[in-house]
Amino acid sequence: MQLAVIGVGGAGCRIASAIRAADPTTDSFVEAVFAFDTDGDALAALDDVSDPHRYRYGPDGDDGLEGDLERGLECGREHADELVEVLDRGAPAAADAILVAVGLGGTTGGGTVPPLVATLQRRYDAPVYVLGTLPADGEFVPADVGSAGTEHRSPTTGSDGDPDTPETPPRPRAPANAVDALERLDGRADAVVCFDNERWLRTGERIAEGRDRCNRELATRVAAVFAAANSNSEGAERGIDADDIGRVMGSTTDIVTIGYGEQAVDTGGSRFGLGLFSSDQTVERTSAVSAVETVTRNGIHGKLTLECEREAAGRAHLIVGGPPAWLDRQAIADARRTLEDAVGGARTLGGTVSRPDGDAVFATVVLADVAPVDRLEELRAAADRSA
């Protein structure tokens, strides 16, 4: 499966760049990465996007949009065709899906992505998925309004920490922007994969301090889903293809969250030699079973990109992968039942990914059509309060 990744705005571009960096296979699942921003300095700071695929558009100056989503939307509508022309030059026609990454609290990203996704849907047959971060409380809740007497994270301004950490302005409109952008994506995006910054930042940590770590964690999960549909599953029980991914993501703008568990395993040094030999490796069955059980449990019950009750999922997909000798069939069948039990009546899919050169067993859990989600309700309430 080949994915065209488009980052829009500061967060979106950094996440797109991190996805490129996380691509684990030589047979890359990332067909092309594009970065679109109104902020030229932010574009210039990206690590893993080639120059011709970085594109600045819209008003000049850092705060041309001044946090105003209406202006962001206007800018997005005005420039959507122009951005798609930039994509056309990079030939994403071969892509099986398009992934648009965005920080949903932002003005550039939140304003551009809804009209951009609408234009992409008109121009390409491939499904268009949005990967959106949800704003953290520290961005918009004043420091002295912490909940129920608990000490609250300080706002995102100030350079009281590491002087090398870039400052980030407070974003009082972040929840309203996020809620508004999500509503506008309804009926446009095939699905919206969410990542909750509030859950992934450490206590007291500012976006600028924690974002690179968060982006790596998110990129690992995105890669685990989409690279799975790109791998050689020869010898494995059941592979995964783009249709499986399409089935679990759906096409009706469902909210999607991803869980992930990984365990390093001894591959007898085969990763330094030819991958060929790792399939000859003998692994004690109890070790293989225990590895699959552990990563599955962590994938299901560990931290999700967006927290929700497991029973809140309408569909679920379990991907188990690793060196072939570690992929115990019975353990994988049991893992699938563990997921079925956890999600109640949700429809579940399963697949196996053989990674002859890998040195870890992993489980990726995709939960789709999740509702209700507490964090989304919190952001809606915060948006109402600021209205």
Ligand X SMILES: Nc1nc2c(ncn2[C@@H]2O[C@H](COP(=O)(O)OP(=O)(O)OP(=O)(O)O)[C@@H](O)[C@H]2O)c(=O)[nH]1
Nearest distance in Å: CB 125, ligand X:
27
Candidates 128, 119, 139; CA nearest to 10 is 139
Q: Quick one: which of 2, 17, 215, 278 contacts ligand X (CB under 6 A)?
A: 215
Q: Which of ligand X, Mg ion, none is residue 3 near (CB under 5 to 8 Å by kind)? A: none
Q: Quick one: which of 17, 107, 253, 270 contacts ligand X (CB under 6 A)?
A: 107
Task: For residue 72, state whether it binds Mg ion (rule: CB under 5 A).
Answer: no
Q: Quick one: which of 96, 139, 205, 328 contacts ligand X (CB under 6 A)?
A: 139
Q: Which of ligand X, Mg ion, none is residue 215 near (CB under 5 to 8 Å by kind)? A: ligand X
Q: Which two tokens stand for residue 147?
A: 């909940």
Matching residue, tokens 């994270």: 153
Task: For residue 196, state whether it binds ligand X (rule: CB under 6 A).
Answer: no
Nearest distance in Å: CB 195, ligand X:
6
**What is the size of the binding site for Mg ion (CB under 5 A)?**
3
* Cα dist from 309 to 150, 191, 218, 225, 302, whole Å: 25, 19, 20, 21, 12
Q: Quick one: which of 1, 6, 118, 207 contacts ligand X (CB under 6 A)?
A: 207
- Residue 211 or residue 336: which is nearer to ligand X going by CB? 211
SS3 of residue 118 by DSSP:
helix
* Burial (CB count <10 Å: 0-12, 13-18, 19+), residue 269: exposed
Q: Quick one: which of 20, 211, 336, 355 contacts ligand X (CB under 6 A)?
A: 211
| Cα 202 to Cα 41: distance, rounded to the nearest angstrom | 27
Task: For residue 132, state whether it binds ligand X (rule: CB under 6 A).
Answer: no
Candidates 105-113, 161-169, 275-283, 292-300: pick the segment binding Mg ion (CB under 5 A): 105-113
Q: Quick one: which of 197, 230, 338, 352 contacts ligand X (CB under 6 A)?
A: 197
| Cα 76 to Cα 22: distance, rounded to the nearest angstrom | 28
**What is the size of the binding site for ligand X (CB under 6 A)?**
26
Task: Provide the pairing of β-strand 30-37 with 3-8.
Answer: parallel
Q: Which two tokens stand for residue 269?
A: 């040094």
Candidates 108-116, 152-160, 182-190, 193-201: pick the segment binding Mg ion (CB under 5 A): 108-116
Q: Which residue is nearest to Mg ion (CB)?
A: 10
Between residue 108 and residue 127, which ones bind ligand X under the rule CB under 6 A? Answer: 108-109
- Strands laid side by side in the 97-103 sheet: 54-56, 30-37, 3-8, 97-103, 128-134, 191-196, 254-264, 360-368, 315-322, 347-354
| Cα 106 to Cα 66: distance, rounded to the nearest angstrom | 10
Q: Quick one: which of 6, 14, 19, 39 contacts Mg ion (CB under 5 A)?
A: 39
- Residue 108 or residue 364: which is nearer to Mg ion going by CB? 108
SS3 of residue 20 by DSSP:
helix
Q: Which of ligand X, Mg ion, none is residue 171 near (CB under 5 to 8 Å by kind)? A: ligand X
Contact in structure between 350 and 238 (CB atoms under 8 Å): yes
Candidates 26-34, 208-216, 281-289, 339-347: pick the segment binding ligand X (CB under 6 A): 208-216
Nearest distance in Å: CB 200, ligand X:
7
Q: Quick one: which of 7, 10, 110, 350 contacts Mg ion (CB under 5 A)?
A: 10
Task: For residue 358, state whether it binds ligand X (rule: CB under 6 A).
Answer: no
φ/ψ bin of 48: left (φ > 0), alpha (ψ from -120 to 50), beta (otherwise): alpha
Dihedral pair phi/psi, residue 193, rounded to 5°: -85, 125
Which residues pair with residue 35 across a beta bridge? 7, 54
Candidates 113, 76, 89; CA nearest to 32 is 89
Q: Which residues here bind ligand X, judged by CB under 6 A?
A: 9-11, 14, 38-39, 65, 67, 103, 105-109, 133, 135-136, 139, 171, 174, 195, 197, 207, 211, 214-215
Q: Which residues here bind Mg ion, judged by CB under 5 A?
A: 10, 39, 108
